[in-house]
């Protein structure tokens, strides 16, 4: 079957705008003056030319999170990896190619913490002339989860870097840019969705949250997940869902309860010990249109059941229940046999700090690492250096296995393991090779959950577990029949997650820790020519 290819145009003006939240106002960086930014709509197979005009006061890049960009990495967006940033007053046109994706994704800035306010949803419809693998809903509703600081986000980021510790807590979580009526000065602007009894709605759920993983639900209603990260999944009906920074979920919502008002809400899931976080809840309201305006509402609206902030069982019961759709039109293509295997440890490290006092352990600075490597930005973007064979920008020696083998999840670990190596390293892969990566969380400094994202690829999450990965026993429990297809996966605290994919994009893979974004480790693989 032949499908029509259309080239569309999308205008993005990055500029500052004044916003009021939580009884105070501040200037934030936006796209087209909107927070969240505008939704980008396209059909599978379309190409979109995005003209980015930087009218702000700082460098910026835009990333199309989860878009494969086949053989076209130049528009992907990560600063100093595929491109240099767009300077204030400059314009850059980015080509976004929608090839395999179908469902909900998102776009965001990829410079420091600009993505806290510079982000928006991407909706990719099926090929023109085709339909969803489920009945068409009555309406579709983007729901973007985010965070809000009263402080200027640039100050929050600078203080974070200079302190060497954790970032200050946000003042609120948000639903479509609004904190919700549990926060001060927020009731009149709380996001409200009006629904009709008996109708089905498609929630396009995006997590643009900087750090925390969130539980999300609607009181008295179930959410049926039918897609993860723009890949269809077997329907999974639950009272709540779990979503990590960078992930998206497509959920069907049926207005099948007594006409009234009901809270939709999101609250954090955080398991790190001695890790401070914003332990509040954001709310929106689902209001049945049949409910007469003059009638008294339930006061307050019913609140959904959401698990406790440290309920690991609830979190991974949901994540571990997701399955790919696996039909003729939407098949599963997970590699059954792999020829490139990686074991990658994920750690929070403690680095020597040049200042006399620092908020990390024993006066050190917190850092993040993979296989004991902490990435440092080069002065020239890596893709340009690779393409033009410019020496000295990076080294192709990133280790395939941890340089130190130890009990990764032990309660007490030697202090000498806490210091990582500062490096700009990568590794190349043969084109179309079958790749397996085991991400192993460690308990160095502080064991936490790690959301991991690959640029230029989606992958199959074939297995996960708590504790240390057992290379003999654990692979026998892999799901190679219908594993969920993701572009961002959560590695549990002091646990492991295995992903598989085909290195079939003549491109690069970018791995990053979404948490502690300024301390990300970036390692990537370039398919060999």
Tokens of 312: 């690991």
* CATH architecture entry for 139-320: Sandwich (2.60)
| 3-class secondary-structure state, position 116 | helix
468: left (phi over 0), alpha (psi -120 to 50) or beta: beta
Q: What are phi and psi of 360, to 5 degrees?
A: -75, 175
Q: What is the pLDDT of residue 236?
A: 98
Among candidates 437, 371, 436, which has minimal Cα distance to 401?
371
Tokens of 33: 């003056």
Profile the chain (529 residues) by mean pLDDT over runs of 10 residues.
60 95 97 96 94 94 94 85 89 94 96 92 95 96 97 90 82 98 94 97 96 96 98 98 97 96 96 84 95 63 94 93 97 96 91 59 76 85 85 89 94 88 86 93 89 91 97 97 96 95 75 42 49
Q: What is the pLDDT of residue 516?
A: 41
Question: Which residues pair with residue 419 across a beta bridge?
Answer: none
Q: How far is CA 462 from CA 49, 355, 498, in A?
A: 35, 44, 6
Which CATH number does 8-125 carry?
2.60.40.420
**Radius of gyration over alpha carbons of the chain, in Å?**
22
Q: What is the pLDDT of residue 298?
A: 55
Question: Which residues pair with residue 107 across a beta bridge?
Answer: 64, 120
Q: What is the pLDDT of residue 1?
A: 42
- Do 8-125 and 139-320 agree at the fold level? yes
Tokens 């799901």, located at residue: 479
Q: What is the pLDDT of residue 447?
A: 85
| 3-class secondary-structure state, position 141 | strand
Strands 248-254 and 200-207: antiparallel
112: left (phi over 0), alpha (psi -120 to 50) or beta: left
Among candidates 108, 13, 116, which has minimal Cα distance to 61?
108
Q: How far is CA 266 from CA 7, 173, 369, 486, in A?
A: 37, 8, 29, 21
Q: Residues 492, 496, 502, CA angle at the centre, nearest 5°?
A: 115
In what side-by-side order are the strands of the sheet with 450-455?
488-491, 450-455, 510-513
Please say whether the dihedral angle defined by the alpha carbons of residues 110, 111, 113 and 115, taken in this order, is positive or negative: negative
Residues 6+ apart with CB under 8 A from 317: none
**396-413 residues labelled b (16+ CB within 10 A) or e (exposed):** eebbeebeeeeebbeeeb
Residues 6+ apart with CB under 8 A from 525: 426, 427, 428, 429, 435, 503, 508, 509
Q: What is the pLDDT of residue 354?
A: 61
- The whole-angstrom separation of Cα 426 and Cα 339 is 18
pTM: 0.93
Q: Which helix (H) or strand (E) holds 158?
A: helix 153-163
Tokens of 333: 């293509």
For 340-526, the fitting CATH number among 2.60.120.10, 2.40.30.170, 3.30.310.50, 2.60.40.420 is 2.60.40.420
Q: Residues 9, 12, 16, CA angle at the centre, nearest 5°?
A: 170
Beta strands in 100-208 (DSSP E): 103-109, 119-125, 139-148, 172-175, 192-195, 200-207
Domain-wise residue ranges, the chain: 8-125, 139-320, 340-526
Q: Which helix (H) or strand (E) holds 228?
A: strand 223-228
Q: What is the pLDDT of residue 375?
A: 84
Torsion of CA 98, 101, 105, 106, to 10 degrees: -20
Residues 6+ apart with CB under 8 A from 131: none
Residues 6+ apart with CB under 8 A from 294: none
Q: What are phi and psi of 158, to 5 degrees?
A: -65, -40
CB 98 within 8 A of CB 61: no
């Amino acid at each position: 079957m032949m499908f029509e290819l259309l080239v569309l145009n999308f205008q993005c003006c990055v500029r500052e705008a004044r916003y009021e939240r939580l009884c105070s106002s501040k200037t934030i960086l936006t796209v087209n003056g909107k927070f969240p930014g505008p939704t980008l709509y396209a059909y599978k197979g379309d190409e979109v030319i995005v003209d980015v005009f930087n009218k702000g006061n700082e460098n910026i890049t835009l990333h199309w999170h989860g878009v494969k960009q086949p053989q076209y990495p130049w528009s992907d967006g990560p600063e100093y990896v595929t491109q240099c940033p767009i300077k204030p007053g400059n314009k850059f046109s980015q080509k976004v190619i929608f090839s395999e994706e179908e469902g909900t994704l998102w776009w965001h800035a990829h410079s420091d913490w600009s993505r806290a306010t510079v982000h928006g949803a991407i909706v990719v419809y099926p090929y023109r002339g085709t339909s969803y693998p489920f009945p068409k809903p009555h309406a579709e509703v983007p729901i973007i989860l985010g965070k809000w600081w009263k402080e200027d986000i640039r100050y929050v980021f600078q203080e974070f870097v200079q302190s060497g510790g954790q970032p200050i807590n946000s003042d609120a979580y948000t639903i479509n840019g609004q904190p919700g009526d549990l926060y001060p000065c927020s009731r009149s602007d709380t996001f409200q969705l009006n629904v009709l009894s008996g109708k089905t709605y498609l929630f396009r759920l995006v997590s643009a949250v900087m750090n925390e993983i969130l539980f999300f639900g609607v009181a008295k209603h179930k959410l049926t997940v039918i897609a993860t990260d723009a890949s269809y999944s077997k329907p999974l009906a639950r009272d709540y869902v779990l979503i990590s920074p960078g992930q998206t979920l497509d959920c069907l919502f049926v207005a099948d309860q007594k006409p009234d008002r009901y809270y939709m809400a999101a609250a954090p899931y955080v398991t790190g010990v001695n890790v401070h976080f914003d332990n509040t809840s954001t709310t929106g309201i689902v209001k049945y249109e049949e409910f007469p305006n003059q009638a008294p509402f339930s006061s307050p609206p019913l609140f959904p059941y959401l698990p406790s902030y440290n309920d690991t069982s609830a979190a991974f019961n949901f994540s571990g229940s997701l399955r790919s759709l696996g039909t003729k039109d939407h098949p599963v293509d997970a590699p059954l046999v792999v020829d490139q295997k990686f074991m990658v440890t994920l750690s929070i490290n403690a680095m020597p700090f040049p200042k006399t006092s620092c908020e990390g352990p024993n006066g050190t600075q917190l850092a993040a690492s993979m296989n004991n490597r902490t990435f440092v930005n080069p002065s020239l973007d890596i893709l340009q250096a690779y393409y033009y064979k410019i020496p000295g920008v990076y080294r192709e020696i990133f280790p395939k296995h941890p340089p130190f083998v130890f009990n990764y999840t032990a309660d007490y670990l030697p202090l000498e393991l806490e210091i990582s190596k500062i490096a700009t390293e990568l590794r190349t892969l043969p084109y179309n090779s079958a790749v397996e990566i085991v991400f192993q969380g460690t308990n160095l400094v502080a064991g936490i959950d790690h959301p991991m994202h690959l640029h230029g690829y989606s992958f199959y999450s074939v297995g996960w577990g708590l504790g240390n990965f057992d290379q003999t026993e654990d692979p026998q429990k892999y799901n190679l029949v219908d594993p969920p297809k993701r572009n961002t996966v959560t590695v549990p605290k002091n646990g492991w997650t295995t992903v598989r994919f085909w290195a079939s994009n003549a491109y690069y893979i970018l791995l990053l820790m979404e948490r502690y974004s300024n301390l990300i480790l970036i390692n990537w693989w370039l398919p060999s020519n």
